[in-house]
Every structure is written in C-alpha cells, then in structure tokens.
Chain A
Amino acid sequence: MDALDLARWQFGIITVYHFLFVPITIGMSALVAGLQTAWVRTGKEHYLRATKFWGKLFLINFAMGVVTGIVQEFQFGMNWSDYSRFVGDVFGAPLAIEGLLAFFLESTFLGLWIFGWDRLPKKLHLATIWLASIGTLLSAYFILAANSWMQHPVGYAVNPASGRAELHSIWAVLTNSTTLVTFPHTITACFLTAGAVLVAVSAWHLKRRHQEEVFRPSLKLGAVVVLVAGVGVLVTGDLQARIMTEQQPMKMAAAEALYDTAEPASFSIFTLGSLDGREEMASVRIPSLLSFMATGSPGGEVEGINNIQQAYEQKYGPGDYTPYVPVTYWSFRLMIGFGGLAMLVALAALWATRRGRAPTSRWLWLASIASIGMPLAANSFGWIFTEMGRQPWTVFGVFKTAQSVSPSVGAASVATSLIVLTLLYGVLAVVEVGLFIRYARAGAPEIEPETDDADRPLAFAY
C-alpha cells in the first residue's frame, strides 16, 4: 500500500470511530437537558435521578468524542496537506468558526455543568447543559457545511494563477442546499441514536424489574424519540437523495449498482451475484422505487453508471469516475436497513410496554438491548456511503483524492500513525464500553438530601 491508500484507511477508521461518539453526544446532551428541565419544572425526584444516570453515560461517551475530535482537525494538515493548500481559503473558515462558536461553548458549559451542581443556582445550572447542547448543534452545522462543500462546492472560484479554490461567498457556503438537507438528516439520526441508547439501557433494567420508576419513563422517552427522529431521518434522507441525484448522479447510480440508465428504475433490497452488481443471480426488487427516491416520480429516469462515466470523461478528461460499487451498494442498504430496524424495535417496545404492561417476550428484550448498535451501524454506513460514493473526488468535480495527499509524508510515517492510532482507539474502545456497561448496570443513583454546608464534598468531582 502506498501513502495515499494508508492515508485513506486512516481517514476512514479515525472518522467512523469519531462518529460513533458524536451522535450520542449531540442527541443525549439534549435529552439530558430535557430530563433536567422536567426535574426543575416539576420537582419530581425520578427526573433528577434519570438526569444524573443518563448524564453519567453521556459524559463517558463525551470524553471520547472530544479527544478523537482533535485528531480530525490535525489530520487534514498531516495527511492531506495538498488538499489543505487547495481548499484552505474556503474549507478552513467553517472549521475555525466551529472552534470559536461551538467548541468553546460545548467545553466551557459542560465543565460548568459537571462541576456546577452544588455551585450554581438551579436554573442557571440547567442553562449550562442547554448551552452545551446548542454548542454540539452549532458544531455539527459548521462541520457539515464544510463537508457539504466537498460534496457540492459553491460560493468559490479556482484562481488560475495560484491553482487554489478561493472563497467568494461565505453565505453561499453556509446556505448550500446540500448543507440544508444534510444537517437535519444528521441531527435526526443523532437523536435516533440517543433514543436507542435510552431504549437499550432501560430495557436491560426493566427486564430485571429494576428501578422501574426511572427506567419505564426513560424507555418510553427513548422509543418515542427513536420513532419521531426516525421519521425525520426518512423524510430528510428522501430530500437528500433527490439533491444528490441532481448534484452527484454517479453516487445515486452507484448506490443501486445501476449500470444502464433506466426509466422507471427499480430498487433492489438485496442482490445475490457478483459483488459489484454487474452479474445478478437473484434479487428482491421494488419496482419504480429508485425512480421515486431519485426524482420524486415513480416513472422518472435514473442515469446509469456507464452513461455518467462517459459524460464525465467528456467533461473532466479520461479517467475512472466510478466509485467502488460494492461498498456504495451495500453501505446504502445497510444504512437504511439498520436505521429501519432500530425504529421497528422501538415501536415494538413501546407497544409492549403500553399502559403499564411488561412484555414477557425474551426476544423483544434482547432486540431492545441490541438496538443500541443499530443506529451506530447505520450512521457509520451512511458516512461510508457518502464519502466513498464521492470518489474519486475529495471536492466533487474539482479536486481528486489522489491529488490531496501530503507529498512530503512517506508511507512509513502514515503507516506508523495508522497503526498507533488504530491500536490506541481499539484499547480505548474496550475501556469505554467496559465503563459504559458498568455504569449502565449500576442504575440510577439515590438522591441525597441537599445541605447548606459550604465545605461539603464536591458533587461530580473527578
């Protein structure tokens, strides 16, 4: 493998890993803030216990999101220096704004929340978690604006003298149509993920009839969040597919392994045959569905890979403009499949616990507990799909991945970094999951009566 392949593997591993923690952070910060609001407004103790319990799990996860985020910012310059030189004028701005507007807000107010339980007035303390939560949303917006610019570059021009992309309108970048559909799609997916965390952990406790006063409402809250957010993911995903078909038709064709233009085009649920879908032995197909996803009309024409390849050769010169189809085809299906599965489980769990009932089905419990992994898988496959589907480009139609890599960094250096970070991340994953399970099983804490002793032990101290 050369430095380019290694750098791509590193980006994939590091970024997918980072995004295991990010959605839980974004979704759970708001859910914890909601629970704490319920406590402040009603004074009911079980809300406070739920806040503290889910807050702990949230923090265990948050730490990993923070530290793996530092690598994200550094690796553009480290592994992708020619990309950084080319796009810095455009791409750097949202990144810097993200730091100034979002990272400071998140980290400062989360610090205040963790250590401020006994030091801030109740309502001010509540405000700190909301501000941290708003910080996570702002962060998502700016980084998705940066990513959307790579999918659909707007508001810029390439300066022929310097050969660099130059920003002409920050407003165009921040209101990119791609950003406007990607942001709600990602955020609803984050809530779906956080809802599944609530469902899974609550189900574990309810199965043992443990702390029902805390975990029954938590399970319901989680399941409702999964369902509402899931509908949001579907609607925004549909909008996104249409915009993608317009802006990156190759990605849509690669999502279906559609080689020849079809009108109407069917959608295959799965296919048996060669990995890249050229030869098909058997498939389960829904007629016209791809046409509907891509164009909004059941009879719409969807361009095939071969046709687009020809058109791109004319537009961009000779070359291979087809992404690696086995990955795009399967990641697209797995994304939708795992997301849908999490919704089905949530629906079943909600039905089985209606009006104080407790389900007896062992399978439903197991599925509920397992549902924590489904959105995580769906999120990962979603990113793998959208990034792999953009290949061979880093900036679609403008700059290729092969041009982006750092020319001065040798394969040995990238390999060192890939191995070191992957091993480190592997060890930390074991530690994180271990702690998460330990704290999830411990259940919600009992609430100690408040005292006015100024020298009492610190709450939430490290």
Chain B
Amino acid sequence: MELTTVWFALIAILWAGYFLLEGFDFGVGILLPVLGRSNRERRLLINTIGPVWDGNEVWLLVAGGATFAAFPEWYATLFSGFYLPLLLILVALILRGVAFEYRGKRDDDAWRRRWDYCITGGSLVPALLWGVAFGNIVRGVRIDADHEYVGGLFALLNPYALLGGLTTLTLFTLHGAVFLALKTDGEMRGRAGRLAARLGGPAVLVAGGFLLWTAIAHHDVAGWLLSAAAAAALVGAVVATRARREGWAFLATGATLVLAVFALFVTLFPDVMPSSIAAANSLTVHNAASTPYTLKVMTWVAVAFTPIVLAYQGWTYWVFRKRLTAERIPA
C-alpha cells in the first residue's frame, strides 16, 4: 500500500477515534441540563467524563497535526476555507474546557449555572458543526485551481451538510446517553437509559437519511457497505438500549460512529477534498500529500508510539471503570 493511502487511513482512524471518544463527551455535555436536575446530579454527569475528556480531545489535535504533516495542502485549504465555522468550534471548545475545570471551584449557584451553559453550548456547537464540515468535504466545495476555497460562508449551509450536522448531533447525543446509562448507577442509570431509548428512533431516521443520501450521491461499493454496516450497528444500538443491555448498546453506538466516519472517508478516496468547480482542482491523496520521506518518518513514529498511547488511554478507562452514583459526589 502506498504511504499516502496509509496516512489517509490513519487520519480516518484518528477522526473515528475522536468521534467515538469525544462523541460521548459532547453527548454528556448536551444532556447536562436534560438529565441533571440538581447541582449534585450535574456534578455526577460531569464527573463521568472528568478523568478522560481532555485525553479524548487530543484525538482532534493529533488528527489536525497529522493532516498538517501528511497532507499540508488539505490542512491549508480546509482550515482557511472553513474559517468562521472553525472559529466557532474553537470558541466552543475553549469555553467548554475551561468550564469543566472551573465550574466546581466556587460554591456559587450563578457561577455554576454560567459554566453549565458553557458546557452545554460548547458541546452542542462542535457536535453540530463537525458534521456540517464533513458533509461539505464529502459533497465537494468550490475550490479553485490554486487550491483555495472560494465558496464563501453560506455555501457551507446546504441541506446535505446540515443533515450531516444533525447526524453527528443526534448520534453524539445518543452515544452520550448510552454512555451515561453504562457509567452511572441508581436513578440516573434508569433515566439515561430511558432517554437513550427515546433518542433511538430519531437517530435512525436522521443518520439513516444522511448515510442513504451519501450512498446514493456517490456510487461507491465500499461506501455503500460501510454505510449499511453503520446503519445496522445503529439499529443494533436501539435494540440493545431497549433491552437494557448497556454495554452492548455502547459498543453499538461506538461502532455506528466509527463505521460512519469510515464510510465517509472511503467515499472520499482518493480525493481528500473534492472541488465542485472542476475535478482537476480537487485535492487528492497524491497532490495534497507530503513527500515520501516525511510520510515514512511519520509512519515510523506512529507505528512506535500509537500502541503505547492506546495502552495507557485504555488503562485510564479501566482505572475509572466503576459506575458513579450521586451519593459519591461531595454535596
């Protein structure tokens, strides 16, 4: 396999990992005002992701860094082209990250309420906008012969991309609810489980619609198969949620997100950012890539260190595997 293909696959894996992990973080943040009825319950919800959210967010930073290193043209076109949406995402991630650390640092209801808004808003905005961004990448945007995005802001708000945004939003919310049913005990466990069951229908509708639209618009066999697998995993998640099989439900929503990201990337390949103006302007794994030497260096680094990272991140989840209850949260 060519190294450019390897790096395309690795970036797909990084985004899949990001959606799988920060997906439930975002979901927990979005559900904070819905499931957390008292301060103690909201603290319970935040503490389910407390030890891991920061590590989960690093998947985004590494995805960005890997894109910069392996496909500089892609990084440059994407980040300068999607300028204002990315600014919004940045503001959201900043407020959300600070909110987690600062929320509990003052015993003051108004203070906590303000940070709760930051957590919810800061989770909702990226959960929506990442889907809009990927929808646009897969659909193709106006890229000129100099590889510059010339489409403007409002061209990004097309129906397909917006449906993509709704897809990530609903999937992350469902994933978060399922995670909470798995990570809490007592009253919250039941409440989160019931909410997850209610979210299943809308998620199947929205995500199924988006995947079907993607599959129809692009005649890509592997994309079809992966989309179908993602949809099947989602249906499995709904079934498992209704049957109160929390572990299976979480695996299934995780699989849905991973398979959906793979479906999008497979549909893209060998383009990384197709141009809607002319196919010749499209960024591909070849014309956007770094030199073979850089890719080789990066491959060695990735091969040597990724297993270590996965091992200690996995260990963190093992350390904090115990279900939390509101009783264990200091009042």
Query: Which residues of A are found within 8 Å of B95, using beta-carbon distances?
Result: 424
Select which of A79, A96, A103, A408 is within 8 A of B149 by beta carbon: A408
A111 and B50 contacting across the interface, CB-CB below 8 Å: yes
Interface check B243, CB cutoff 8 A: no
Given A77-B76, A84-B68, A111-B55, A456 and B61 contact (CB-CB distance below 8 Å): no
A22 to chain B minimum Cβ distance, whole angstroms, is 15
A119 and B320 contacting across the interface, CB-CB below 8 Å: yes
Minimal Cβ-Cβ distance residue in A for B151: A408
A115 and B320 contacting across the interface, CB-CB below 8 Å: yes
A98 and B65 contacting across the interface, CB-CB below 8 Å: yes
A447 to chain B minimum Cβ distance, whole angstroms, is 16
Query: Which residues of B are found within 8 Å of A221, using beta-carbon distances?
Result: none
Query: Which residues of B are found within 8 Å of A89, using beta-carbon distances?
Result: 72, 290-291, 294
A431 and B75 contacting across the interface, CB-CB below 8 Å: no
A96 and B98 contacting across the interface, CB-CB below 8 Å: no
C-alpha gap A416/B83 in the complex (Å): 10
Given A66-B54, A99-B58, A100-B306, A74 and B101 contact (CB-CB distance below 8 Å): no
Interface string of B53-89 (1 = CB under 8 A from A): 1110110111011101111110111111101101100
C-alpha gap A82/B324 in the complex (Å): 49
C-alpha gap A103/B59 in the complex (Å): 9
C-alpha gap A404/B119 in the complex (Å): 35
Query: Which residues of B are found within 8 Å of A397, using beta-carbon distances?
Result: none
Given A73-B61, A428-B98, A114 and B51 contact (CB-CB distance below 8 Å): yes
Select which of A112, A170, A438 is within 8 A of B51 by beta carbon: A112
B73 and A68 contacting across the interface, CB-CB below 8 Å: no
Minimal Cβ-Cβ distance residue in A for B103: A462
Interface check A158, CB cutoff 8 A: no
C-alpha gap A344/B65 in the complex (Å): 41
Query: Which residues of B are found within 8 Å of A87, using beta-carbon distances?
Result: 72
B106 and A103 contacting across the interface, CB-CB below 8 Å: no
Query: Which residues of A are found within 8 Å of B51, using beta-carbon distances?
Result: 111-112, 114-116
A87 to chain B minimum Cβ distance, whole angstroms, is 8
The dominant DSSP class at the B interface is helix
B199 to chain A minimum Cβ distance, whole angstroms, is 25
Interface check B157, CB cutoff 8 A: no
C-alpha gap A110/B312 in the complex (Å): 12
Select which of B62, B71, B94 is within 8 A of A103 by beta carbon: B62
Total of A-B residue pairs, C-beta within 8 Å: 239
Select which of B66, B76, B101, B147 is within 8 A of A96 by beta carbon: B66
Interface check B90, CB cutoff 8 A: yes
A77 and B65 contacting across the interface, CB-CB below 8 Å: no
Minimal Cβ-Cβ distance residue in A for B90: A71
B68 and A76 contacting across the interface, CB-CB below 8 Å: yes
A84 and B47 contacting across the interface, CB-CB below 8 Å: no
B80 and A409 contacting across the interface, CB-CB below 8 Å: yes
Select which of A66, A105, A167, A413 is within 8 A of B97 by beta carbon: A66
B320 and A96 contacting across the interface, CB-CB below 8 Å: no
Interface check A154, CB cutoff 8 A: no
B83 and A93 contacting across the interface, CB-CB below 8 Å: no
Interface check B309, CB cutoff 8 A: yes
A195 to chain B minimum Cβ distance, whole angstroms, is 24
Q: Which 9 A-B pairs have the closest CB atoms?
A: A88-B72, A77-B79, A92-B69, A63-B101, A96-B65, A81-B80, A92-B68, A99-B62, A81-B76
> Hey, which bits of chain B sit against chain A, CB under 8 A?
43, 46-47, 50-55, 57-58, 60-62, 64-66, 68-73, 75-81, 83-84, 86-87, 90-91, 93-95, 97-98, 100-106, 146-150, 290-291, 293-294, 297-298, 301-302, 305-306, 309, 312-313, 316, 319-320, 324, 327-330
Knowing that A63-B101, A93-B298 touch, tell me 12 more A-B residue pairs with CB under 8 angstroms.
A74-B64, A88-B68, A89-B291, A92-B75, A98-B65, A99-B66, A100-B306, A100-B309, A108-B313, A114-B51, A421-B90, A455-B327
Return 18 A-B CB contacts under 8 Å, by A number. A73-B64, A77-B64, A79-B80, A81-B79, A88-B75, A89-B72, A93-B69, A96-B62, A107-B54, A108-B312, A111-B52, A112-B319, A417-B83, A420-B87, A439-B105, A461-B104, A461-B330, A462-B101
